[in-house]
Amino acid sequence: MMRLLFSAGAGYSHIAPLLPLATAARDLGHATVFVTGPGAVGHLEAAGLHGVAVGAAAAGPQPWGRYSPAELAVMSAEEKLAFVVTVMAEAGAGGRLDDMLAFFRDWRPELVVAASGEFAAVAAAVVTGVPFAVHAIGPPKSAAVMAGGWAVVDELVRRFEPGGLPSRDNVPYLDIWPGGLRPAGVEWDLPNRWPVRPDGMLPVEGERPYPAPVVYVTAGTAHNTKPGVLEAMIGGVRDAGVDVVATIGRDGDLDRFGTQPGHVRITHFLPQERVLPHAEVVVCHAGAGTVLGALAHGKPLVLTPLATDQFDTAAQVADAGAGVVAEPSPDAVRAALGRVRRNPAYRAAAGVLAAEIAAMPPPVAVLERLTGGDGLGQQ
């Protein structure tokens, strides 16, 4: 048995993709700890994992003001995403590395699995000589998008190791994203891809609270309170002649949606695995967890991307024929929903991706490969 350290940022959307592998490690008898930021340990305790907060909560202004609104307005989606990655490295790794190193030296992990963008754990692994893998939390990122983040990590590592950050070509990238969504001709960051089935997204048996069919509407947990977004989605689907289930997040305000028709149910939270089996179409913000869940159930999508890699995700789903991208307006959502419902090709394409997801190697198999040392000794 080994001492395995998992690490992810404090957002639940960053933690959740790693939970199947971490719980598999625990169940197999490995000494397992999951490191995250302050305020997020409860997510790990709810999963029955030993969670530890490392590093203080961010204090004071964050470095988002480097560009003016006018400059940000003319940036491409890829340029904005690259900026976000660099800021994550500066604020996350730069502010937490000393505390992370202290924890590493005390707990002495033998293998580290860090969420994509969780640079502090990677830097600590390099400095302490511990093998590491990177676990996807969404779609793969290009080398260009991640370059700024890795440059920050290299500078941090050079405080302790003059050689800086070693080559990442052999670092295992534990990829939850189906290959059928990957665009061709891209120079990807972390090219040593190890597919791993996103078990937390798969269909499960159990009581189903809704008669089929429904249109499922969600904006996830990060953008659910943004004014106008969920209103546009719900406004675009409520006259489609189908029951609607919309989740607005635990911090959402039900009053903001006013009185809705009887066939539209708006609630704070439902496990999506309870709704997706009954969904005809999923209308969402192109968040990775919602998209993977929908596709794992073979459900086509209407996608209204709002930020970061959601634009990549939406484009990949559309290119695969499993959904339609729409502006976040009632008219655009209504038109896109009509297209998806009328054309069975969208559901067929989603079914192809569902079969691919189901056939990906399960977390237990990937964990056995990792703990067996496959590829880790070449770091």
Distant-in-sequence, close-in-space partners of 162: CB < 8 Å, separation ≥ 6: none
For helices 94-107 and 119-128, angle between their N-to-C axes, nearest 10 degrees: 50
* SS3 per-residue string spanning 248-302: CCCCCCHHHHCCCCCCEEEECCCCHHHHHHHEEEEEECCCHHHHHHHHHCCCCEE
User: So what's the pLDDT on residue 113?
Assistant: 98
Q: Are 281 and 302 in contact (CB under 8 A)?
A: yes
Of the candidates 100, 101, 93, 38, the one whose C-alpha atom is nearest the C-alpha of residue 63 is 93
| Interior angle at CA 145, CA 228 and CA 87, nearest 5 | 70
- One-letter amino acid at 325 equals V
Q: What is the pTM of this model?
A: 0.92
* 130-147 burial: b if 16+ Cβ within 10 Å, else e: bbbbbbbbbbbbbeebbe
Residue 109 CA to residue 121 CA, distance in Å, equals 11
Q: Are 332 and 326 in contact (CB under 8 A)?
A: yes
Cis-peptide into 61, omega within 30 deg: no
User: So what's the pLDDT on residue 377?
Assistant: 46
User: So what's the pLDDT on residue 3?
Assistant: 97
Residue 148 CA to residue 7 CA, distance in Å, equals 21
Place of tokens 């991706």: 353
Per-residue pLDDT tens digits of the chain, which is 379 residues long: 899 999 999 888 899 999 999 999 999 999 999 999 888 999 999 999 999 999 876 554 455 556 666 766 777 878 888 988 998 898 888 889 999 999 999 999 999 999 999 999 999 999 999 999 999 999 999 999 999 999 999 999 999 988 899 999 999 999 999 999 999 999 999 999 999 999 988 776 665 666 668 999 998 766 666 778 899 999 999 988 889 999 988 878 888 888 889 899 998 888 888 889 989 999 999 999 999 999 999 999 999 998 888 999 999 999 999 999 999 999 999 999 999 999 999 999 999 999 999 999 999 999 999 998 665 644 5
User: So what's the pLDDT on residue 61?
Assistant: 47
User: So what's the pLDDT on residue 207?
Assistant: 59
Of the candidates 84, 92, 119, the one whose C-alpha atom is nearest the C-alpha of residue 190 is 119
User: So what's the pLDDT on residue 88?
Assistant: 84
Q: Are 156 and 93 in contact (CB under 8 A)?
A: yes
Q: H-type helices in the chain, by residue range?
A: 12-15, 19-27, 41-46, 69-73, 77-88, 94-107, 119-128, 143-157, 229-237, 272-275, 288-296, 310-319, 330-342, 344-358, 363-371
Structure tokens at 99: 């505390």
